[in-house]
Structure 1
Amino acid sequence: TRLMDGGEERIVREEKIASGIFDEALMLIARSITHELNNALMGIGGRAELIRGDLEKDSPFERHLKGIEDYVDRSSILVLQLRRCWRQDPGLSETEPADINDIVKRCIRILERTDRGIKIDFAPGSDLMTVCADPFAILKVLLAVSLDIACLVPRGSCVRIETAYLDPKSISGGADQYVGVFFQGVCLQERVIDEIREGAGETKGIVFQALLSDQGVESFVVAFPSRQGFFQTEEMVSFHQSHRGKTLLVVDDEDMVREVGAGMIKRLGYDVLTVGSGREAVEVFELEHDRLDLVLVDVMMEGMDGIETAERLRSIDPEVPLVLSSGYRDGVDTRAMKRLGCRLLQKPFSMDELGVCIREALGEA
């Protein structure tokens, strides 16, 4: 093998540097695009929720709002895929506590829009422990299973899906506790199961298994290892005008996100102030902090960003609850966030997700 001379080595080094600069530029562009897309989806989905709250029962516009929310869900998945493209390690998954019922609902909304005319009867389990995994990977797995089932059952069939705890002794996994997603009365061939399992390789610890009930009814279950911590069910997350006297400050440099966020907060029963920059937030907080019960701060803002803003607010009032909002977790300084005692709310968020976060931060949950 011929050794390179000094000139050739210099050329190789320069090419590597140029390639690294190009990759870094692409990463910055992709970050900017995903940030803008998440803000747009936040505005679209949030306005749809606010409009729904003003509709009369059985309004003909309800189905159009549902369609808008479906498109927001599908677009959110595309944004997640785009984020994977600019990661240094494309196989890296964002592990976080995930609400399995919420992910199943997103899956159902997509499944019901296929040309198979499938109807879904969903029975969500209550008080389920969290599943610690990448929510996008879970959704991808459940969609793969659901679409295979949709192709197997007759057109127009009704498929029953349940979520519940699963006896770890009944499956082949090694975790102490599982949350299972059950597809009742469905039989998948082992070949199909193997293909789904292979495609889910990045989601460690999940189990795919056929089960037979005592009544002889066959089901297919996807089981996810669970952990301590609970998500509230829809029945538990019912908000009323019971927060009078609580005032929140929303800090975001995007007009549409600020307006939608304020609208959601008012609908949840809180009073709200809004500002468009970190500098304004500090000025308002210095004057009004005695009557502000919580501050919601966007992470990516021009000038003073969310972390710096949170630090300034903490220096004025060390006890005020702070929530940071961001379109992606890997754009957040988690060490600074923990040091400041901030919660993280991921965009685009729904009114229910916002309400749960606020209630937990205020100690009302």
Structure 2
Amino acid sequence: MKESTQTSKSFNRGSRAGATLNGHAGFTDRSDTTPQPVSEAFGSGHSDSGDQEASATPGFDMGHFQYAQIAQAVIDQAVLGAAFVDLDSRIQLANRALADLLQYSQEELKGMAVESLLGGPGGAQALLRGTEASHTGHRKPPSVINLKQKSGDIVACLIDSHAIYDENGKTMRFLVFVNPTLPEKESEELNRVENELYRSQGLQTLGILAGGVAHDFNNALEVIIGFSSLARLRLPPADPLHEPLKIIEESAKGAAGLARRLLDASRDNPDDEGPVDTAELVGGAISIITRTFDRKIRIEHRIAPRLPSIKANHSRLQQAILNLCINARDAMQQGGTLLIEADLQTLKLGDGRLAESNSPGHYVRIAVRDTGEGIPPEIVKNIFVPLFTTKGPGRGHGLGLAMVEKMVKDAEGFISVSSTPGQGSDFSLYFPAVFGRRTSAADSRHGQILEGQGQVLVVDDEPRILQFLETGLTRLGYEVLTAESGRKACEIYSSKSDDINCVLIDLIMPGLSGLETYARLKDINPSVKVILSSGYSSGRIRHEAAVTGSSEFLEKPFTLEELSRAMQKVQRN
């Protein structure tokens, strides 16, 4: 074990300045632990013709041929190109990686002059520069040098050279590491991809944090909406306070809707597949850009009535539309008009807009049109190529339109682009129409108060929400029990399960979570009726709630009307 440890030190690039092989001057023989100088183990370090005839490896003494074999085996394990070079600038040993890089065999490289690989005199000194400085502890950084392959092609390589010394501090040979560099264009693209990866990871972290903030935000809005709706319902329609309370309630709903749409747009939810309400989808994107774009951009929209649905991933499709809107905004630095259209189109065989991979039929068209600078014809053909961008540094990463194209193709759609320099661009997304009505989220927000009766257990860790739910459900005719934690709820339910008709549980609570609480309640009574709710807007949360068997899920903030309907539905079920 001592021998192998010493050998590994010999090739450690991070070893101390002026290191010798084995930490001494040479390798250690298994049968003789006396340190041997490098000159004895490898030869003199010079490669004259006599040495080459007497040795299987130029510059290595046949008497210590086993050490040459060890050296060859060690550098062959290196992923980078590596070679031992003698003082006459001839290669003594080369590994497979270097041979493959330079298109030679390892045998061909043995004894080859470094000059012949550099294409000119004086190159060897440049390749080995800085190695002598390592003896004083002041190494120069690796340098980029062009090497000539057997085919005559030139490859730029990062060269890191290390001098090997004997026990007297005299340079005996060099260990050279060779790493091919990327072409400048590929290197720039790699840097851009790396920067985009960091940016993506940052956005992912921000999205996770935003989800938690949204939970607290929606809980606060729940208190506003809940008590304002409760106060409004207690007043006669003619009361002067009725209208202000309604405005407060609607404003809070608008804030909650905007937060939900922003979160949906920032997250990739692969489970969010299904028929997408076209009008609701486009309306959500319009709501976001209207509130976030500079006022010098005039936003117009034309949405046809009674549009069919689209079979797609809702969050990804909204990201695609928003990406197109952002590109349109960036194309109008001095202001302009952004028009969003949605209508039903019938594309027949031979229609120039129809993609080759799509069949004739009915398509929902969503178009984003701007009055910006337009795109030159020679650039239009490249706009969907990943990493292609005409924006300056820090303004674009060249992935936006490539992502849009992929999202549209995933939905079995296609894109049509028309642009005129100086007049603007039109990006039209076409999706196969899915006929049949789909109930939108907006439909469920209208209705009247439905009163009921029975005993309800309400579980929430937020005192103000607990207060609203207790007051509101009492107003609806229910007898209400409250618990500020999942553990407390289990205690109450275990003693009163025969009397409790329904349990309303918040999913996100410290200690026992909502789902864990629900599981324990089912252990007590498998037929327990539960409504789960959460201010954490996430398709994953909805999915987890559905998997547990809960028939109802209320997304905060909800009104007293929505709560009353959920109570009626769960009790009927």
Same fold (TM over 0.5): yes
Find the residue that maps to 2:322 and give its secondary structure.
helix
Asked if residue 205 in structure 1 is aligned to residue 411 in structure 2, the reply is yes
Unpaired runs of 5+ in structure 1?
A: 5-25, 85-90, 212-217
Identity of aligned residues (%): 15
1:42 Cα deviation from its structure 2 partner: 1.0
Aligned equivalent of 1:106? 284
1:194-233 equivalent positions in 2, closer than 5 A = 194=384, 197-200=401-404, 203=407, 204-205=410-411, 207-210=413-416, 220-221=428-429, 223=431, 230-232=438-440
TM-aligned CA deviation for residue 107 of structure 1: 1.8
Match of 2:217 among 37, 41, 48: 41
Matched residue, 2:154? none
Contact 1:298 1:324 in 2 (8 A): yes
**CA contact 1:282–1:312 (8 Å) conserved in 2:** yes
Aligned pairs for 1:155-304 within 5 A: 159=339, 161-162=341-342, 172=355, 180=364, 182-183=366-367, 191=380, 194=384, 197-200=401-404, 203=407, 204-205=410-411, 207-210=413-416, 220-221=428-429, 223=431, 230-232=438-440, 234=442, 237-245=445-453, 248-255=456-463, 258=466, 271=478, 273-286=481-494, 289=497, 292-304=500-512
Query: Cα deviation per residue 1:149-185 (whole Å; 9 max; x = unaligned)?
Result: 56779968584644x6766879547699988363498
Taking the aligned partners of 1:249 and 1:221, their CA distance within structure 2 comes to 49
Q: Secondary structure at the match of 1:307?
A: helix
Cα contact 1:132–1:227 (8 A) shared by 2:
no
Please say if residues 307 and 337 of structure 1, whose CA atoms lie closer than 8 Å, have aligned partners that are also in contact: no
Aligned-pair CA distance for 1:240: 0.5
Structure 2 contact 413–431 (Cα < 8 Å) conserved: yes
Q: Aligned pair count?
A: 324
Contact 2:338 2:368 in 1 (8 A): no
Q: Secondary structure at the match of 1:308?
A: helix
Residue 13 of structure 1 is matched in structure 2 by none
Gaps of at least 5 residues in structure 2 are 1-74, 79-201, 233-239, 385-398, 418-425
Alignment partners' CA distance in 2, 1:290 and 1:130: 46
Contact 1:248 1:270 in 2 (8 A): no
Task: Call closer, same or farther: CA 1:67–1:363 in 2, change over 3 Å.
Answer: closer
CA contact (8 A) 1:251 1:258 kept: yes
1:118 to 298, 303, 313: 298
Tell me: CA distance 1:146–1:71, structure 2 relative to 1, closer, same or farther (3 Å).
Answer: farther
**Partner residue of 2:518 out of 307, 310, 319:** 310
**C-alpha distance after superposition, 1:119-157 (max 9, x if no partner):** 54564755965755252x232212223344567799685
The structure-2 alpha-carbon separation of the partners of 1:102 and 1:299, relative to structure 1 and needing over 3 Å to count, comes to same
| CA 1:161–1:201: 2 relative to 1, 3 Å | closer
SS in 1 for 2:505: strand
Amino acid corresponding to residue 109 of structure 1 in structure 2: S
Write out per-residue CA displacement over residues 227-280 of structure 1, whole angstroms, 9 at most, x where no aligned residue: 98832464564220123337654423234554566688789x685654221122
Deviation at 1:92, TM superposition (A): 7.3
Amino acid aligned to 1:73: L
User: Secondary structure, in 3 states, of the residue corresponding to 1:118?
Assistant: strand
Q: Deviations over 1:293-347 (max 9, x none)?
A: 543323343332222211222234433443444534557894x963x41257486
The letter of the residue matching 2:272 is: T
Of 308-317 and 164-173, deviating more is 164-173
Give the Cα separation in 1 of the matches to 2:256 and 2:453. Answer: 36
* Displacement of 1:102: 4.0
Give the conservation status (yes or no) of the 8 Å contact 2:457–2:482: yes
Higher helix share: 1
Does structure 2 conserve the Cα–Cα contact (< 8 Å) formed by 1:206 and 1:225? no
C-alpha separation in 2, matches of 1:363 and 1:258 = 21
Partner of 1:143: 322
Whether the 8 Å contact between 1:118 and 1:157 is mirrored in structure 2 is yes
Residue 14 (structure 2) aligns with: none
Task: Give the greater-gyration-radius structure (CA).
Answer: 2
TM-score by length of structure 2 reads 0.42
Which structure has the higher relative contact order (CA within 8 Å, separation 6+)? 1
Larger CA deviation: 31-40 vs 164-173: 164-173
Partner Cα separation in structure 2 for residue 296 and residue 353 of structure 1: 15
Instruction: Return the letter of the residue paired with 1:77.
Output: L
Instruction: Quote the Cα distance in structure 1 between the aligned partners of 2:264 and 2:432.
Output: 24
Alpha-carbon separation, structure 2, partners of 1:359 and 1:126: 31
What is the distance in 2 between the residues matched to 1:41 and 1:265?
A: 23
Specify the alignment match of 1:77 in structure 2.
262
The alignment's TM-score, normalised by the length of structure 1, stands at 0.60
Please tell me the root mean square deviation across aligned C-alpha atoms, in Å.
5.6
Change (3 A) 1:242 1:68: closer
The answer (yes or no) to whether the contact 2:310–2:434 under 8 Å persists in 1 is: yes
Q: Find the residue that maps to 1:362 and give its secondary structure.
A: helix
SS of equivalent residue, structure 2 residue 366? strand
- Offset at 1:103? 3.8
What residue identity is the alignment partner of 1:180? Answer: V
1:76-99: CA deviation from partner (whole Å, max 9, x where unpaired): 736975xx6xxxxxx774434565
Quote the Cα distance in structure 2 between the aligned partners of 1:333 and 1:2. 53
Measure, in 1, the Cα distance between the counterparts of 2:457 and 2:312.
31
- State whether residues 345 and 357 of structure 1, in contact with CA within 8 Å, keep that contact through their aligned partners in structure 2: no
Amino acid at match of 1:199: M
